């Protein structure tokens, strides 16, 4: 019995290895799979035949050969199935539908009216389900159809249980969100922290083994990739760097701390910098707050330009701390603040050059699209739904 189980486990491990290689490579032959994995050709051929039967792999033609039979070229079937990703923020919900090859089939942002009180968990669940159901109407036919939904949340999340422990900016604690969505939606639901989702997506697309993803909007969180693995910490809540203090006598934070990085290097920090320069700022901050401020700066408003420079300085203070602690090769900045990258990044680059340890000055820092968290949430659903995909980040 144990020999049978061991053989079955080993076959699944090998199958995952083969599919993972196919997933990362655009095209490859059976012989190349054998060479790169160390599996014998008969095993590779058998596993590939299974994957073709499962509709996850397709044959796309023949390659060249110096002699003998030309190899048949294989490709991961990008259209084998689809997944949905949802990024939930206090001002908006972003939803994407992607195929198994990570190509976007549908994308939408729904702004949330913040003139009213914070949404209850029931209202927010209904909003999320409405966005999922809308995305489903845009899903093309495929062998495996819609395989799952991933949801990124701004706060402390138990990703194993699909449970939100503490979402301070949404005013929600102890929310069994996966179960709540599943009561209205039949698709499997997977949940994670928003910055972790963004970090995961950037790793999937860049393959940089040591990197940070900073999700900067109303709040601020950091996803940490170390040696190609998402770092979660002892209790799965690592990455809340927005709540490390950069001022011992600073602003009170909803987390209970004072002087948190999030208070200065987020939309709230930008709002305070504008108010200090005599600019009226609506509160609660509207969904287009950063875009509106950015346009004003581009049109020549000195107050807005200075406020963005101050925001960049505050981002840099916390970032230099992280660089000197974690020594990443790349930093990706997402969230609404990334929309103002032309005004923020020069200040960050200058601060790194003057303040970071010498080796850390080589780090690449760039802004990424605002949909990175939603895409990462979809990627989470993809990895969980297709059990054979590499899951080092799950």
The 10s digit of each residue's pLDDT in 116-160 is: 667 899 999 999 999 999 999 999 999 999 999 999 999 999 999
In sequence order, the β-bridge partners of residue 156 are: 166
Of 83, 57, 89, the C-alpha closest to 380 is: 83
Confidence at residue 393, expressed as pLDDT on a 0 to 100 scale? 40
Give the CATH class of 82-199+374-381: alpha beta
Of 202, 360, 335, 325, the C-alpha closest to 265 is: 335
| Segment 59-111, tens digit of pLDDT | 998 888 776 788 999 999 999 999 999 999 999 999 999 999 999 999 999 99
Confidence at residue 191, expressed as pLDDT on a 0 to 100 scale? 98
Confidence at residue 25, expressed as pLDDT on a 0 to 100 scale? 85
DSSP annotation of 260 reads B
On the CB side of 292, CA atoms within 13 Å amount to 13
Distance CA 185, CA 183 (A): 6
Ranges for all domains in the chain classified under CATH 1.10.10.10? 2-76
Distance CA 241, CA 90 (A): 19
Residues of the chain with pLDDT under 50: 1, 391-394
Confidence at residue 4, expressed as pLDDT on a 0 to 100 scale? 58
Distance CA 58, CA 74 (A): 6
Confidence at residue 388, expressed as pLDDT on a 0 to 100 scale? 55
Q: CA angle, corner 241, sides to 240 and 244, nearest 5?
A: 115
pTM value > 0.85:
yes
Please give the CATH topology (third level) of the domain spanning 2-76.
Answer: Arc Repressor Mutant, subunit A (1.10.10)
Pick the CATH number of 206-370 from 3.40.190.10, 3.30.460.80, 3.30.420.40, 3.40.50.300: 3.30.420.40
Of 221, 220, 223, the C-alpha closest to 212 is: 223
Ranges for all domains in the chain classified under CATH 3.30.420.40? 82-199+374-381, 206-370
Distance CA 263, CA 309 (A): 16
Cβ contacts of residue 278 below 8 Å, gap of 6+? 303
Q: In which element (H, E) is residue 305 found?
A: helix 302-326
Residue 274, both tokens: 């504008």
Confidence at residue 117, expressed as pLDDT on a 0 to 100 scale? 67
Of 359, 341, 348, the C-alpha closest to 319 is: 348
User: How far is C-alpha 289 from the geometric centre of its chain's CA atoms?
Assistant: 22
Confidence at residue 119, expressed as pLDDT on a 0 to 100 scale? 84
């Amino acid at each position: 019995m144990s020999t049978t189980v061991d053989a079955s486990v080993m076959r699944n491990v090998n199958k995952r290895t083969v599919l993972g290689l196919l997933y990362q490579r655009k095209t490859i032959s059976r012989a190349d799979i054998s060479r790169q994995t160390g599996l014998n050709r008969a095993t590779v051929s058998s596993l590939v035949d299974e994957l073709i039967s499962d509709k996850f792999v397709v044959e796309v033609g023949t390659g060249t050969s110096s002699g003998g039979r030309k190899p048949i070229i294989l490709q991961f079937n990008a259209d084998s199935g689809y997944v949905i990703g949802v990024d939930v923020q206090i001002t908006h919900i972003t939803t994407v539908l992607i195929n198994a090859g990570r190509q976007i089939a549908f994308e939408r942002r729904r702004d949330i009216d913040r003139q009213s009180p914070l949404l209850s968990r029931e209202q927010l669940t209904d909003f999320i389900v409405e966005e999922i159901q809308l995305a489903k109407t845009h899903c093309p036919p495929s062998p495996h159809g819609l395989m799952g939904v991933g949801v990124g949340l701004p706060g402390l999340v138990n990703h194993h249980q699909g449970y939100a422990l503490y979402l301070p900016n949404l005013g929600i604690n102890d929310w069994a969100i996966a179960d709540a969505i599943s009561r209205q939606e039949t698709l499997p639901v997977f949940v994670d922290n928003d910055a972790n989702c963004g970090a995961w997506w950037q790793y999937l697309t860049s393959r940089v083994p040591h990197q940070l993803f900073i999700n900067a909007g109303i709040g601020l969180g950091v996803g940490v990739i170390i040696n190609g693995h998402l770092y979660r910490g002892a209790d799965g809540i690592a990455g809340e760097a927005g709540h490390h203090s950069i001022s011992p006598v600073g602003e009170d934070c909803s987390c209970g701390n004072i002087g948190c990085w999030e208070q200065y290097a987020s939309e709230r920090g930008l709002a305070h910098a504008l108010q200090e320069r005599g600019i009226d700022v609506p509160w609660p901050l509207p969904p287009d707050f950063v875009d509106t401020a950015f346009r004003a700066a581009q049109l020549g408003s000195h107050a807005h330009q200075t406020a963005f420079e101050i925001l960049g300085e505050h981002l840099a203070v916390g970032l230099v701390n992280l660089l000197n602690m974690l020594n990443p090769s790349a930093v990706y900045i997402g969230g609404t603040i990334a929309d103002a990258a032309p005004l923020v990044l020069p200040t960050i680059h200058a601060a790194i050059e003057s303040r970071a340890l010498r080796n850390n000055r080589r780090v690449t820092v760039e802004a990424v699209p605002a949909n990175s968290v939603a895409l990462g949430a979809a990627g989470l659903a993809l990895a969980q739904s297709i059990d054979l995909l590499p899951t080092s980040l799950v």
